[in-house]
Structure 1
Amino acid sequence: VAWIRADDQTILTLHTRLVTHSSRYAVTNDSPRSWQLHIRPLKVEDRGCYMCQINTSTMKKQIGCVDVLVPPNIVDEGTSGDLVSREGQDVSLSCRAEGRPLPRILWRREDGANIQLRNEAGELRKVDMFMGPSLNLSKVERRQMGAYLCIASNDVPPSVSKRIMLSVTFPPSTLVATKVIGVPTGSQARLECFVEAYPQAIHYWLKSGEEMILSGGKHEISEERVSPYQLRTILIVSQFDSEDVGTYTCVATNTMGKAEGTLRLYGFVVPLQPAEQKFYTPDVTTYDTMQNVIEQSVLDNNWLPTAESAANSHYPAFSLPTLALISVLPYLKYIIFSSFNAFVLISRDFQIVAQGAR
C-alpha cells in the first residue's frame, strides 16, 4: 500500500515506511485492511488530492481531497493607514484581507455612529455598515471625521479588524448663542463660545477687542471638550460692576485660519422690593360679608375644637355659630357706634333736604 500526492505523483509512504523527507507525514496500519495517512501540522500547501494505491496484479486506487481552511488576515499592502484630508475632498479607505475561503470586508465606525455616504445626487445617506473592500467618501465633511474599523471574516474564527483614523482639516468657526447679555450689578456673568476647528485651535478672550483676559482674580476661563473638533470655552466674570461693561471677543485660530465671536455685556441694578405686608381690615357693610369675616376669624385663630381637646375638656363644646358670635363680641361696640353715627348723619341730611323742599 502506498500513499501518493495526486497533483505531482510524489510518493509519500510505502507500506509502513516514510518515503518523503518531511516529518509532518506519518502512516499507521491499525488492522490488515486499514491504512491511514497523517499530516501534522496541516499547512496551506497541503491543500490538494491524495491517492491510496494498492499494488496488486491489478492495481487499485482511491483518491481523497483535502481543503485547508484559513482564518482571515488583513494584509498591510493594499490596506489604508491613517488619513488626513481637507474638508471637501474625496477620500477612499481600502482594506485587503487573505484567507480561505476569501474573507468578506465590512466597515463600521468605532464610535457606533452611522457611516455617511453620498448618493449619485450628492445627498448624504446614513448606513450602519458598508460591505466591500473600499469605502469611498466623496466631498468629505467634518462630521465624517473619526475612526473606521475594517473587519474581515470568512466563518473561520477568529475574525480580524484594523482601525483606520480619518482626520478632516478645516479653519475655525465660532458660535455665540447670545449677542447681548444683561447682568445685575454684583452678580456673576457667564459667557460661552462654541468653537469648531481641526487641527485643534488656540482660543482666548479679548476685552474691547484689545485687552487679553487671563484666568485669575475676578475672571475664570475654562473649556469643555465635546468631540475631537468641537469645544465650548467659558468665561466667568465675578462681582460684575460698571468696569466690566463692554464688548468681549472669543478668538479661535489654527493653521487653517481664524474666527471670532463677539458678545456685549451691560449692567443694571435690581430694585429692592419691600417686604410684603398683609393688613386685615374687616368689611362689615353687609350681613353676608360680616358672616364671612367671622368664620374666617374663627378658622385663622384655630378655634375649632379637635377630638382630643373635646375629650379632655370638662366643659361642653360650642357650635360654630356660637363661636362666631363670641369672636365678634370685641368688635360689637364699634359696629353699633358706627351704625348709630351713620343713622344720625342720614337723618340730618334728610331733614336738610326736607327743609329745602319747603
Structure 2
Amino acid sequence: MYACVQRRERLSILLDTLSERHSEEKSYKQNRSNAMLLLYIFINLVGSLVAFDITIENYTVPVSGKCILTCYIAEVRSFKVLWQKIDRINQGGNQTFDEQQEQLTLIAFDGTVYSNKDHYRLESDYVGSYNLIIDRVNEDDQGEYQCQINTEPRKTKRIFLTVQVPPRIVDFRPNPPLISIRSGISLTLLCRAEGTPLPHIRWRIRDIDMNRIDSLPPENSNIWFISAVTTNFPHTVECIADNGVLPASNRIFTISVEIPPIVMINNDLIQSQLYQNVTLDCSILSRPLARIYWEKNGQIIDDSKMTSTQINQTLSINQLKVQINDDDDFGKYNCIAENIHGRKEAFVYLL
C-alpha cells in the first residue's frame, strides 16, 4: 500500500515538471517572436530616418563630355550605397516604355567600382555625397541610372541621362562625289542624318551666280527630287544637318548635267576666190566635251588644218582654215561633233 502511494507521488511530480518545461518553451518562443518583430520595426524605423534625396532628375550632356550624377545621403550609417544602370530593350513591335525588358548592370557598390568601363568613378568630396562621375561620355552611356541604399524597404534615386550627339550624314544609297546625268532625266539627292536630338536638314546652292530659293526642296526635307534636270540646274549644292550640337555636318553634291552636241554655224554660205585663205567657224555646245572634226565629200579633213578653243565646260569654238588652190576646194564642208550622248553636224558652203 505504501509503495503504491509513492509511485503516485512520483508520477505527479513528473507531470508537474513537464508542464513547467512546456510553459517555459512556449514563453521563450513568444519572447523570441516579439524580439524579431521589434528588430524588424527598428530596422524599418532606422531606414526611414535616413535622409535620402529620391528626386527624379534628367541630365543632358554632349558626347565626349563629363557628367556628374549626384546622390546625397545625409547619414549612411551602416547601410551600403549602390549604383546601377538600367537599359531597356525593345523586343519588337510597338512596346511602351514600361513593357520593354530591363537589363541591370552593376556599376559600383559600397565605394568600389565594379564596372569594366574605365570612365566610371566615384566621388565623395563632401560628407553625404556619393556621386557617380562619367568621363568621356559616349552614346552607350545614355539611359537610366539608379542610386540605391539598402534600407528596408530600399530607397532609390532615378537619373535619366541623355547624351547629345552631333549630326552625321549617313545614306544607305550614297551618291558619288560627282554626279553625271543627262539633261531631261530625273535626279534624286539624298541627305539622311543621325544624331541626338534629331538633326534638322536644309539645302543650299553653292554656285556664286545662282541664288534661286524657289528651286530648293521643302524645309527639313532629306530628299531633293528633280523630275527633269536641265542645264540650268546648279552645278554645286550642299545639304547641312544641324541639331544644335557642334559641329554641324554637311555634304556637297557636284552635278554635271550632260547634253548631246549642238552644232551652230554663224555663216553657212561663204563666197571666195581661187588662191584665197578662208576660215570656217563652228560653235559646239556639249557636255561632256565633244570630239570635233570636219568632212568634205565624206572624207575627214586632217586635224592640223583646224584649231579649237574651249570657252567653258560646255562651249567650244572650232575653226577650219581652207586654202583654195583649185576648184575642188569649193563646195560643202561638214562640221561634226560627237560625244557619248549623240552625234550632230552642220554644214558650210564655200562658193
Alpha-carbon distance, 1:132 to partner: 1.3
Q: Does 1:105 align with 2:201?
A: yes
Identity %, equivalent residues: 28
Match of 2:190 in 1: 94
Match of 2:300 among 212, 215, 226: 212
1:74 touches 1:98 (CA, 8 Å); kept in 2? Answer: yes
Note the C-alpha offset of 1:257: 2.4
Shift of the 212–130 alpha-carbon distance from structure 1 to 2, 3 Å rule, reads farther
- Which of 310, 328, 335 aligns to 1:250? It is 335
Following the alignment from structure 2 to structure 1, what is the Cα–Cα distance between the partners of residues 326 and 271?
A: 12
- The aligned counterpart of 1:23 is 118
Considering Cα pairs closer than 8 Å and 6+ residues apart, tell me whether 1 or 2 has the greater RCO: 2
1:136 correspondence with 2:225: yes
Shift of 1:85: 4.2
Q: Does 1:4 align with 2:84?
A: yes
Question: SS of 1:45's equivalent?
Answer: helix
Counterpart in the other structure of 2:133:
38
Taking a change above 3 Å as real, the CA distance of residues 178 and 185 of structure 1, as seen in their structure-2 partners, is same
Q: Choose 51-60 or 192-201, whichever is displaced more.
A: 51-60
One-letter identity of the residue aligned with 1:47: Q
TM-score between both structures, scaled by the size of structure 1:
0.58
Q: Distance in 2 between matches of 1:79 and 1:105?
A: 17
Cα offsets for 1:137-174 (capped at 9, x unmatched) = 11222443745433322222222333445454543221
1:201 aligns with 2:286: no
Residue 195 of structure 1: how far off its partner (Å): 1.7
Across the aligned residues of Structure 1 and Structure 2, the Cα RMSD in angstroms comes to 3.7
Matched, 1:62 2:165: no
Distance 1:131 1:30, change over 3 A: closer
8 Å CA contact retained: 1:78, 1:95: no
Is this contact kept in 2: 1:114–1:128, CA < 8 A?
no
Matches within 5 A, 1:37-186: 37-55=132-150, 60-81=155-176, 83-112=179-208, 114=210, 126-127=215-216, 131-144=220-233, 146-181=235-270
How far apart, CA to CA, are the structure 2 residues paired with 1:128 and 1:6?
Answer: 42
CA distance in 1, matches of 2:165, 2:254: 28
The structure number with the bigger radius of gyration is 1
Give the counterpart letter for 2:112 in structure 1: R
1:273-298 per-residue CA deviation (whole Å, 9 max, x = no partner) reads: xxxxxxxxxxxxxxxxxxxxxxxxxx
Does residue 261 of the first structure (1) align with residue 346 of the second (2)?
Answer: yes
What amino acid is aligned across from residue 302 of structure 2 in structure 1?
L
Query: CA offsets per residue over residues 180-203 of structure 1, 9 Å max, x none?
Result: 456899997554322223444221
Q: Using the alignment, how far apart are the partners of 2:234 and 2:192 within structure 1?
A: 22
Structure 1 unaligned runs (5+)?
118-124, 267-358
Identify if the C-alpha distance between structure 1 residues 130 and 187 changes in structure 2 by more than 3 Å, giving closer, same or farther: farther
* Alignment counterpart, residue 226 of structure 1, candidates 308, 312, 315: 312
Q: Structure 2 CA distance, aligned partners of 1:170 and 1:145?
A: 15
Q: What does residue 274 of structure 1 align with?
A: none
> 1:242 Cα deviation (Å)?
8.0
Question: What is the aligned residue count?
Answer: 254
Q: Does the CA contact (< 8 Å) of 1:87 and 1:169 recur in 2?
A: yes
The one-letter amino acid of 1:234's match is N
Structure 1 residue 215 displacement after superposition: 4.3
Distance 1:146 1:24 in 2: 47
One-letter amino acid of the structure 2 residue matched with residue 233 of structure 1: I
Letter in 2 for 1:18: V
Q: Give the alignment's TM-score, normalised by structure 2.
A: 0.59
Distance 1:215 1:202, change over 3 A: closer
- What are the superposed Cα offsets for residues 49-85 of structure 1, whole Å, 9 maximum, x if unpaired? 3233344577554333221111122224144346554
1:282 is matched with which residue?
none
Maintained 8 Å contact 1:174/1:259: yes
Structure 1 pair 116–188 and aligned structure 2 pair: CA distance change class (3 A): farther
